[in-house]
């Protein structure tokens, strides 16, 4: 098990390039099952989740060739197995994304119980209900799920929640299902849009991309494609937060500016000003950040929401940034009941935070943080704790950094390039 040893107090300064979006790369890897022609994906982040998705594909019989450190060629022409490795399913939640394309291709699939971050209950019912609406039958047990269909036919799918992965799974199935499928209450995050656009490039017929209603007309065959994965706007927001917490000045290249407006607005409310010039995000140094009160001097709220609202994945880093801003703010993360329990660690470092309930935290800043022994509970909270360690007085150790590695490529090396005093042990 790896750990980071971090000496705090050094402002981050310099330039860094955002990685490819892992939340785009993972469904695109699953989409390779929809064609017998090769697909080439570029700008793929070298992270644990991507490796595990490719390992699952390889176990099914796919031919995978690494073209360079961030490009992969995938051919699934020889895939014949329909059972997803149960051990690997438990390692990564997005193993769920193989269900749709496997069902569409082979009319059956078996997979283990999906894993992923422990941030509260993460139901998978929405996936199965969507597939059932198109003709699939589900069997489930304590060790996983089985899906089969004698006949798939287009129909109306009403998602009971606007789940990103359920929307992606429904798309990955519907593009090969005969007839017209209407997916209502669909998620519209950038990575969902990217998947849909790539599928269109492969020959799928999808209308309503970027909206909450997707119309899909099934086709018999999809072709291969070469695609460069869009930049990860979650990573950009995380880097923004780390630069601000250390009072640094950083330029983030390939910042996906069209996906940053709400992130910039929320961090501006926390006192952090940023400027986008072309494809670059400039995080400007400041000696003081001041939280913007609501009208009448009322305490403001930062609340996560569905796209294009502030993303849930950035509430952890926003909480950490708020500990370094003057004022009081309520952070409201309503999606996952386990996402905010990590803030007691911030309190142990010296932050003034009150966990009101599983979904709400009051932060009063600024506070001098002090280095201590930490443990990464999940991808996003782990990165937020890394930011806290970088701005703390003294040395911190962060255990279980494999969680951070699942979502951020070589983050220790890249932060050292910005002057961070961080070592992996």
Task: Give the separation between CA 349 and CA 390, rounded to whole angstroms.
Answer: 12
The strand order across the sheet containing 360-365 reads 301-303, 327-332, 360-365, 352-357
333-350: string of b/e by CB count within 10 Å (b at 16+)? bebbebbbbbbebbeebb
Instruction: Give the pLDDT score at 91.
Output: 73
Instruction: Give the pLDDT score at 122.
Output: 54
As a whole number, the mean pLDDT across the chain is: 93
Query: If you count DSSP H runs as helices and E runs as strands, how many of each does the chain have, helices first?
Result: 14, 23
Query: Which tokens belong to 267?
Result: 């961090």
pTM of the model: 0.93
Task: Give the separation between CA 276 and CA 284, rounded to whole angstroms.
Answer: 11
Opening angle at CA 133, ends 128 and 137, nearest 5: 55
Q: Hey, what domains does the chain have and what are their CATH numbers? A: 3-18+231-424 (3.65.10.10), 22-228 (3.65.10.10)
Instruction: Give the pLDDT score at 382.
Output: 95
Instruction: Give the pLDDT score at 169.
Output: 95
The strand order across the sheet containing 395-399 reads 373-375, 395-399, 3-7, 421-424
The strand order across the sheet containing 137-141 reads 108-112, 144-148, 137-141
Q: Which residues are catalytic?
A: 117
Number of Cβ within a 10 Å radius of residue 328: 15
Opening angle at CA 265, ends 259 and 268, nearest 5: 135
Q: What is the CA radius of gyration of the chain?
A: 22
Instruction: Give the pLDDT score at 212.
Output: 97
Paired sense of beta strands 180-184 and 205-207, if any: unpaired
Opening angle at CA 39, ends 173 and 175, nearest 5: 20
Whether the CB-CB separation of 206 and 200 falls below 8 Å is answered with yes
Low-confidence ranges of the chain (pLDDT < 70): 114-123, 141-143
Which residue bears the tokens 């291709």?
105
How buried is residue 178: exposed, middle or buried, by Cβ count under 10 Å (0-12/13-18/19+)?
Answer: middle
DSSP bridge partners of 182: 156, 215
Which residue bears the tokens 């199965």?
128
Task: Give the separation between CA 361 and CA 193, rounded to whole angstroms.
Answer: 32
């Amino acid at each position: 098990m790896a750990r980071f040893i971090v000496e705090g107090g050094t402002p981050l300064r310099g330039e860094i390039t955002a990685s490819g979006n892992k939340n785009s790369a993972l469904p695109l890897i699953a989409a390779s099952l929809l064609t017998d022609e090769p697909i080439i994906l570029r700008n793929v982040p070298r992270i644990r989740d991507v490796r595990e998705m490719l390992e699952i594909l390889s176990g099914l019989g796919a031919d995978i060739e690494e073209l360079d450190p961030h490009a992969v060629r995938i051919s699934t022409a020889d895939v014949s197995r329909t059972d997803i490795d149960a051990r690997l399913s438990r390692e990564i939640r997005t193993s769920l994304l193989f269900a749709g394309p496997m069902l569409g291709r082979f009319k059956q699939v078996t997979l283990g119980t999906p894993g992923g971050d422990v941030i509260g209950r993460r139901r998978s019912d929405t996936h199965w209900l969507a597939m059932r609406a198109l003709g699939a039958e589900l069997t489930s047990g304590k060790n996983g799920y089985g899906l089969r269909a004698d006949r798939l036919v287009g129909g109306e799918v009403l998602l009971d929640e606007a789940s990103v992965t359920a929307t992606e799974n429904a798309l990955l199935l519907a593009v090969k299902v005969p007839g017209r499928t209407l997916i209502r209450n669909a998620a519209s995050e950038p990575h969902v849009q990217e998947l849909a656009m790539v599928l269109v490039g492969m020959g799928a017929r999808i209308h309503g991309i970027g909206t909450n209603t997707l119309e899909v007309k099934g086709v018999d065959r999809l072709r291969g494609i070469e695609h460069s994965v869009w930049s990860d706007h979650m990573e950009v927001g995380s880097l923004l937060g780390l630069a601000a917490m250390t009072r640094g000045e950083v330029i983030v290249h390939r910042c996906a500016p069209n996906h940053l407006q709400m992130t910039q607005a929320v961090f501006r409310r926390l006192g952090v000003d940023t400027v986008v010039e072309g494809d670059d995000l400039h995080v400007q140094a400041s000696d003081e950040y001041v939280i913007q009160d609501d009208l009448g001097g009322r305490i403001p709220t930062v609340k996560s929401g569905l796209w294009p609202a502030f993303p849930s994945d950035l509430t952890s880093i926003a909480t950490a940034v708020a500990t370094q801003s003057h004022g009081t703010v309520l952070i409201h993360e309503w999606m996952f009941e386990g996402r905010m329990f990590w803030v007691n660690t911030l309190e142990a470092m010296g932050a003034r935070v009150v966990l009101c309930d599983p979904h709400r935290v009051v932060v009063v800043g600024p506070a001098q943080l002090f280095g201590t022994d930490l443990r990464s509970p999940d991808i996003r909270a782990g990165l937020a704790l890394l930011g806290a360690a970088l701005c703390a007085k003294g040395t911190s150790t962060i255990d279980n950094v494999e969680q951070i590695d699942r979502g951020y490529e070589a983050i220790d090396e890249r932060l050292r390039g910005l002057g961070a005093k961080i070592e992996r042990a």
